[in-house]
Amino acid sequence: MISKTKTTLYSFLFFAMFILQSTAQDTTYDQNILDSLGVTQEQIDHLGITDINHLSSASKRALKWPVDLGNEWFIEFSNLKPLKGDLAYEEGVVRRDPSAVIKENGKYYVWYSKSTGPTQGFGGDVENDKVFPWDRCDIWYATSEDGETWKEEGLAVPRGKAGAYDDRSVFTVEIMKHEDKYYLSYQTVKSPYTVRVKNQIGLAWSNSPDGPWTKSKEPILSPADNGIWKGEEQDRFAVERKGDFDSHKVHDPCIIPLNGKFYLYYKGEQMGEEITFGGRQIRHGLAIADKPEGPYIKSPYNPISNSGHEICVWPYNGGVAALITTDGPEKNTIQWAPDGINFEIMSVIPGVSAHAIGLNRSADTEKEPTEILRWGLSHMYNSWDYQSIMSFTSERKTQHRAKGE
C-alpha cells in the first residue's frame, strides 16, 4: 500500500507541476529576448506558443507570417450549379473553359470552347481522331439577362484554314475590354495534334462584343525554344533537355491592363513535365506589351508562380490578385502582387470546386479583395467526353461556430 506520506508528496508534486505549466503558458518574455528573435509578445500569445526557447519548425514558420495577417482574403466556394437555357448540359456537346463574364448593352456576355462528339485519345489516327475534349474546338459565345439563363448567340472565332497555326483547335478563351475595343486571347494548336505538339496563344479583336472578330496572323506568344526531345517517338516525357518552364506549351492566356502596359498571364508546361511533392509541375508566366496586340515580351522573372493550373487573375489595390488551384505546393491559395510579378500568399482556402473560372468582370474589384469571386462561371466534367458550363458562388468566412451557437 502507498503510505499517507507518499500520497501527500505525490499530490504536492502534481500541484507544483500544474503551477509550473500554467506559469510557463502565461510567461511574458523579456523585451530583449523578443527583439533578438524579431517577434512580439502579441505574436507569441496569438500563436499560442508555449516556450520561445523551444520553437518547432512549424512555430518558426508561423512567426514569419505577416503580423497583420487577417481573414479578408479567406473564402469558401459553393458547389457548382447547372445553368439554364442553351448552356444547360447537352449530350454529345462539349462546352468548357468559360471566359470572364462582362456586362455590355444591359446583358452578360461569355465566350467558351465548343466541340462535338466523343474523344478517341492518342491511341489511333491523330490526323482524324479527336484526342482531347478541347480538340477540334471553335470559340462560341452566349448572352444572359441574369447570369443564370443563357442564349447561345453563335460562332465568334473559328479555327484557321489548313496550314495555319490555329488550324486544329482554338480554345480556352479570355476577354478583355480596353478603350471601347474587345480582345479575345486564346490557346491554339496546329495539326497534327500529337503529344509533343507545341500549343501557342492567339488574339482576336473587335469593336463590338458581337463581332466580327479579326484574328492575329501569327501567335502573340509561343513556348520557349530551348528544350530538346529525346528520340523521334511521340513520348512527351523523353527529353534530353527540359528547357524553360514553358518549353512545351503556353496555355490559358489572360490580359490585364496595368501601369500603362498590358500584362499577359499564362500557364506554362515544360517538356518532360514531372510529378513533384505538390503534384503536376505547372507554373505561371507573364509577358508584357505596350499595346494589346503586342509584341509581348516574356518577363525575366518567369516563372512567377511555382503552382497553379488555369489562370485566374484580377486587378486589386493597384496590383494583381491570383487564385492558384489544382497543382503545386501552393495550390488552393489566393495571392497578390503589388507589381503584378512578385506574388505572396494572402490566404490558404479549402479545396476549390470551380475549375477554369470565368470571373465576373463587372464586379467592383476594389470593394474587397475577393469581391470578383462572389459569383462566376466554371466547367464541369459530366463525363470524360462531355463537359458543360456551370455557375459558382463564394463567401467570406470570418468565424467558425457550432450548431445553435
103 and 178 assigned to the same domain: yes
User: Are 296 and 186 in a shared domain?
Assistant: yes
CA 76 to CA 394: how far, in whole Å? 6
Asked if residue 381 and residue 345 are part of one domain, the reply reads yes
The predicted structure's pLDDT at residue 28: 83
Measuring CA to CA, how many Å separate 216 from each of 221, 248, 387? 11, 21, 28
The cell numbers describing 225, all together, are 525554344
The answer on 341 and 363 residing in a single domain is: yes
**Per DSSP, what are the bridge partners of residue 178?**
181
Residues 234, 341: Cα–Cα separation, whole Å: 35
More confident residue, 236 or 351: 236
Domain boundary among 62, 88, 106: 62
Q: Which of 18, 35, 62 is the last residue of a domain?
A: 62
Position 157, amino acid: V
* Sheet strands (E) in 91-180: 93-96, 102-104, 107-116, 138-144, 149-157, 169-178
Domain membership flag for residue 321 = yes
Residue 288 to residues 254, 298, 359, Cα–Cα distance (Å): 11, 6, 22
Element (H or E) spanning 348, and its range?
Answer: strand 344-348
| Same domain? 173 vs 25 | no
Summarised one tens digit per residue, pLDDT across range 133-158 is 999 999 999 999 999 999 999 999 99
Do residue 55 and residue 84 come from a single domain?
no
For residues 204 and 171, membership in a common domain is answered with yes
Residue 201: the pLDDT is: 98
> Is the pLDDT confidence value at 109 over 80?
yes
Band (17; pLDDT cuts 50, 70, 90)? very low
Residues 372 and 228 both lie in one domain: yes
Residue 398 pLDDT: 87
Question: 332 and 352 in contact (C-beta within 8 Å)?
Answer: yes
pLDDT mean across residues, the chain: 92
Q: Positive or negative, the Cα torsion across 305, 375, 371, 72?
A: negative
Q: What is the DSSP string of 90-108?
A: -TTEEEE----BEEETTEE
Does residue 324 contact residue 335 with C-beta atoms inside 8 Å? yes
The domain tally of the chain equals 2
Question: What was the pLDDT predicted at 110?
Answer: 98
Better pLDDT: 72 or 8: 72
The beta strands (E) that lie in 190-341 are given as 200-206, 214-215, 228-229, 239-241, 249-258, 261-269, 275-276, 279-280, 283-289, 297-298, 313-316, 319-324, 333-337
Model confidence pLDDT, tens digit, residues 283-331: 999 999 999 999 999 999 999 999 999 999 999 999 999 999 999 999 9
User: Which structural domain, as residue segments, surrounds residue 55?
Assistant: 4-62
Q: Please report the pLDDT score of residue 335 as a whole number.
A: 97
Q: What pLDDT shows up at residue 67?
A: 67
pLDDT level of residue 351 (50, 70, 90 thresholds): confident
- Domain annotation covers residue 322: yes
Residue 1 has pLDDT above 70, yes or no: no
247 and 171 in one domain?
yes
- Residue in 207, 204, 248 with CA at minimum distance from that of residue 225: 248
Residue 365 lies in a domain: yes
Do the domain assignments include residue 21? Answer: yes
Residue that terminates a domain, selected from 39, 62, 85: 62
Quick one: 291 and 149 in the same domain? yes
CATH number at residue 390: 2.115.10.20
Cell numbers at residue 295, please? Answer: 509584341
Partnered with residue 394 across adjacent β-strands are: 77
pLDDT of residue 36: 84
Helix and strand element counts for the chain (H, E) = 4, 27
pLDDT value of position 7: 44
How far is residue 104's CA from residue 112's CA, in Å, rounded to a whole number? 17
Res. 365 pLDDT band, cuts 50 70 90: very high
Instruction: Answer yes or no: do 27 and 170 share one domain.
Output: no
Q: Is residue 305 a contact partner of residue 330, using CB atoms and an 8 Å limit?
A: yes
Q: 3-state SS string over 16-79?
A: HHHHHHHHHHCCCCCHHHHHHHCCCHHHHHHHCCCCCCCCCHHHHHHCCCCCCCCCCCCEEECC
Whether 56 and 156 map to the same domain: the answer is: no
Summarised one tens digit per residue, pLDDT across range 82-107 is 999 999 999 999 999 999 999 999 99
CA count, 13 A, side-chain hemisphere, 19? 6
Are the CB atoms for 142 and 197 separated by under 8 Å? Answer: no
What was the pLDDT predicted at 377? 98
Q: Is residue 405 part of a domain?
A: no
Q: Write down the pLDDT at residue 16.
A: 40
Q: What pLDDT does residue 3 have?
A: 52
In this structure, is residue 264 part of a structural domain?
Answer: yes
Residue 70 lies in a domain: no
Section 269-294 average pLDDT: 96
Whether residue 404 is contained in a domain is answered as no
